[in-house]
Amino acid sequence: MKYDICVFGGCSLDQTFFQNVDGSYDKVPNSIAPGGKGSNQAVAASRAGARVTMISRLGKDEIGKRILDNLNINGVDTSHIEMVDGLNNDSCNIYVDINDKDNNMERITGAIDSFTPDMIENNRDVLLSSKIIVCQLKCPKEVTIALINFCYENNKTLILTPCRPDKLKISDEGNLELIDKITMITCNKKECITIFGTEDIEECVKKYPNKLIVTLGADGLIYYDGEKVIAMPAIKVDVVDTTGAGDTLNGNLTAFLVEGLDLQHALRKAMYASTMKLMKKTAQAGMPYKEDLDLFIRNMRNQDFHYSKELNYALEIVKDSYELVRYSQNIKIANKPDSTLLTESDLTIERYLISKIKDKYPRDHFVTEENYPGNSLKDRTWVIDPMDGTNHYIKKDGMWGIQLAFYDKKKTRFAVIYLPEKNELYYAGENIGAYLNNNRLFTPNIVPINQTVIEFGGSIYKSPKAKILCLKKLMDGNVLKVADVEYINTCCVSYTNLCTGKTDGLIISSKKPWDIMPGELLCKECGIRPRYIDVNRGVRLLTNNPEITKLILPK
């Protein structure tokens, strides 16, 4: 079996003591639960949605069984964990300060000390079949060295958390070479100072671009991307317990890297996960599940947005509406007066969205494709296209979506575009940015004109003369001046292609509010604004590439 992540590390039973108001601690722990850095990181990554396995050793007793059961419950594969008779399990006494919520730990090592280098060769196939390997420095150093060398020789991604930073001091012979072989190191400020022998954290990260990530507690984290130092501020919440916050960040970071996010997006999303953990007592109890993290990110990001309640509600009901038609088999198809197609699924989604919005906001207005197409825009109007790209829905090719915009006080305030079969949920709010699956979308990169892709969006037969003229401008005789020209008769797909950099320019002519309002707000929040090619017919060019603008717009 192939795994996303293999955690090579230890487990323990944590006994947590929370400080009393008078500064004392009870003699009996307030909580007893499985923990340990290896176990914590595995659980965090699994809850984030990754396929996780773990290589470890446990004493074959009731404590070991409890630790193993906890991993299984959390979806971690435990088939590569050895249960050894007569081996003491690791334990940890954690004392949480009542003021700063930080902790002091008394670790009693057991099984972790029994790790041997042959565990690597014995689990060779598991390591090679995993996309990312995660380890710490808690086991004997020769074992970690063997693992680092194995990953380096086999070109495997290795992320190390130096919880025993003294073992990696650069002043010790051979450690600089070891550091060079590690793909990524995530450490806190104290660990960084111990390893590199300096308090100049910025200078440390500059030596290891996209490799050394240093967490700074209430000051967030810092790393160097090869061009500039990236300082990510902490997410402000009331902290209850810091235990396991670093493990939560690491587990989620690894899961999001496997998912395909770039380092900056993966780190920021992992910081939200770590923040959620800070709000609950004990290490694993606060580690979020994927769906809870998505909701938390949206709520935190939008909390200062004037229409945050409406936006969060829209995101919820748009996703729910798809579930009503997800498993539809016999799709009833009809023709509308304009010869476009209509299915029962279009009507089902629209009815559901209108009903849910009326329940929550009974005085609001609607402009929708099927039931209220002739309504005018007023204050607090919901603009709904229940199924943009009905023909694609019928053909089941995934190139369709559900879209919604909210209009108030003469402006589009937020928009949602959901491409369910692509698992892509886009949203934008006025002056708060545009997002795809909770990851911020930035202005697309500008590429040379001969590398650009231009898309004609919406109905190709509307304003054909203007579009044919545009096509001629994109050609030099029979040769394209650009890399490619595409056409998709689904506005929401066209707009999202542009915002995500799949295309570089969009030529579109629809005037229908449900077709254009969601996508144009998304583009606006990505720094892309429409320019008119034909004002009378509403033919517009959207691009942030000045060469495309120069090529297409009338002189």
Please, what are the domains in the chain? 3-297 (3.40.1190.20), 308-437 (3.30.540.10), 449-552 (3.40.190.80)
pLDDT at 470: 92
Judge whether residue 262 has pLDDT over 80: yes
Average pLDDT across the chain, whole number: 94
**Arithmetic mean of pLDDT, 407-433:** 96
Burial 318-334 (b: 16+ CB within 10 A, else e): beebbeebeeeeeeeee
CA distances from 261 to 3, 49, 187, 268, 471 (A): 18, 14, 20, 10, 35
Please, are residues 225 and 208 in contact by the beta-carbon 8 Å criterion? Answer: no
The pTM assigned to this predicted structure is 0.80
Structure confidence at residue 405 (pLDDT): 98
Residue from 417, 374, 430 nearest 516 by CA: 417
**What's the confidence (pLDDT) of residue 477?**
87
Average pLDDT (45-50) is 97
What is the per-residue pLDDT for 328? 85
292 counts as catalytic: no
Structure confidence at residue 307 as a pLDDT band (50, 70, 90):
very high
Annotated catalytic residue within 4, 247, 346, 515: 247
Give the Cα separation of 347 and 365 in Å (integer). 18
Q: What pLDDT, on the 0 to 100 scale, is given for residue 332?
A: 86
Q: Check: CB of residue 161 under 8 Å from CB of residue 250.
A: yes
Could you tell me which residues come within 8 angstroms of residue 3 by beta carbon, excluding any fewer than 6 positions away? 51, 52, 53, 77, 126, 129, 130, 131
For residue 535, is pLDDT > 80? Answer: no
pLDDT of residue 415: 98
Higher-confidence residue: 332 or 325? Answer: 325
In the three-class reduction of DSSP (H, G, I as helix; E, B as strand; rest coil), residue 405 is classed as strand
Percent of the chain with pLDDT over 90: 87
